[in-house]
Amino acid sequence: MAKKQTQKRRNIKITKRTAAAIFIILTLAITYLPLPITWDDIYAAAGFKLPKGNLNLLDLSIIFIDVGQGDSILIHTDSTNILIDTGPEGNAQNIKSVLNQLEINKLNYLIITHQHDDHMGSLEQLRRLIPIDNEIIPTENTKMSGMTQTFNDITLEFLGPIYLSDNLNNMSLVIKLTYKNKTFLFMADAESEEEANLIRQYNENLKADVIKVGHHGSDSSSSLDFLTLVQPEYAVISVGKDNDYGHPHQATLNALQQVGAKVYRTDRDGTIVCTTDGEKIVFHRLE
Ligand SMILES: [Zn+2]
């Protein structure tokens, strides 16, 4: 009986603590946010969601477009626009509306990382919507490792694939972008086997400020050894809400937490804008 009462008291205590936490979050939200306040604003104030942005873009912006379960990433400066992947079928209009918001009327480069539908399903539709100057579309025999392409101040270095593989995910183009003091690593769907190859070939050169997490946060990618070398400050997972694969896997989220990365996800944040002047990096959601 006495035990039951203690338990009851503890439950009341926890409820009181939760109420206090909600009260503090609401007070902070009301104090710091302009009216009218939405639940989105409250989630953002509590650190659950990225704050909205007003397209205050710095020199280089990397926009992780919400294409559901797939990848589509725009690299944007005043002079250069490069799209990595198009997401699954049915996303061309979605990508076009992001390009319209940024007043982009042609792509200098379109890079497809590998020939899976969730990365190139909207390619045909997108070609009909926007002029594309150059396309890089690898086949199952393309080894891009060691190639470098420079666009004004931006350098794209193709790190992988180093070897041919029967697993198309491990034939993903792995791209490192450098702008002044900041580096970004785009893993596409490269899995642990490819990560091990990259470690052997590049070691501490894998260090990056931001990582586009491999294979939508699957536990077949993002080995702790690899993430420890990359040491990302920020990690972006491009993943569909309630997807059939259970991505991102808890093991991946744990590994990212272990290396101290702050994680953003398209299933929660929608289209994510990462913008930098080469010194600082700022994230916000695209509305
Ligand atoms: Zn994929």
Residue 69 Cα to ligand 1 middle (Å): 7
Query: Average pLDDT for residues 167-189, to the nearest whole number?
Result: 97
Q: Using the mean position of ligand 1's atoms as its centre, give its distance from the Cα of residue 27 in Å.
A: 41
Superfamily name with CATH number, domain 53-285: Ribonuclease Z/Hydroxyacylglutathione hydrolase-like (3.60.15.10)
Task: Indicate yes or no: pTM above 0.85.
Answer: no
C-alpha span between 260 and 237 (Å, rounded) = 15
Residue 9: count other Cβ atoms within 10 Å of its Cβ.
Answer: 10
Neighbours of 43 (CB within 10 A): 16
Q: How would residue 2 be classed by pLDDT, with cut points 50, 70 and 90?
A: very low
Cβ 89 vs Cβ 117: under 8 Å: yes
Choice among 25-34, 65-74, 155-164, 226-235 with the minimum mean pLDDT? 25-34
pLDDT in tens, 214-243: 999 999 999 999 999 999 999 999 999 999
Parallel, antiparallel or unpaired: strands 234-237 and 182-186: unpaired
Q: 46: how many CB neighbours lie within 10 A of its CB?
A: 15
Instruction: Tell whether the model's pLDDT for residue 176 goes beyond 70.
Output: yes
Q: Rounded to whole angstroms, how far apart are CA atoms 173 and 187? A: 7
CA 160 / ligand 1 centre spacing (Å) = 16
Cα 106 to ligand 1 centroid, rounded to whole Å: 25
Residue 264, pLDDT above cutoff 60: yes
Centre of ligand 1 from the C-alpha of residue 95, in Å: 17
How far apart CA 44 and CA 160 sit, in angstroms, is: 36
Q: How far is the CA of 191 from the centre of ligand 1 (A)?
A: 11
pLDDT of 141 over the 50 cut: yes
Residue 76's pLDDT is 97
Average pLDDT over residues 260-275: 96
Question: In angstroms, what is the span from residue 98 Cα to ligand 1's centroid?
Answer: 21
CA of 41 to the centre of ligand 1 (A): 31
**Ligand 1 centroid to 164 CA: how many Å?**
18
Express each pLDDT in 32-58 by its tens digit. Answer: 554 456 555 555 555 555 666 566 799
Res 101: pLDDT: 92
Lowest mean pLDDT among 11-20, 120-129, 229-238: 11-20
Q: Is the dihedral of CA 21, 23, 25, 27 positive or negative?
A: negative
Domains of the chain, by residue range, sit at: 2-43, 53-285
Q: In what order do the strands lie in the sheet with 154-160?
A: 148-151, 154-160, 174-179, 182-186, 210-212, 234-237, 262-265
Q: What integer best gives the mean pLDDT of the chain? A: 89
CA distance 107 to 120: 16
What's the 238 CA to ligand 1 centre distance in angstroms?
9
pLDDT at 36: 56
Q: Is 98 left (phi over 0), alpha (psi -120 to 50) or beta?
A: alpha
Give residue 189 CA to ligand 1 midpoint distance, Å. 5
- Residue 56 pLDDT: 74
Instruction: Decide: 55 and 68 in contact? Cβ < 8 Å.
Output: no
- pLDDT for position 1: 43
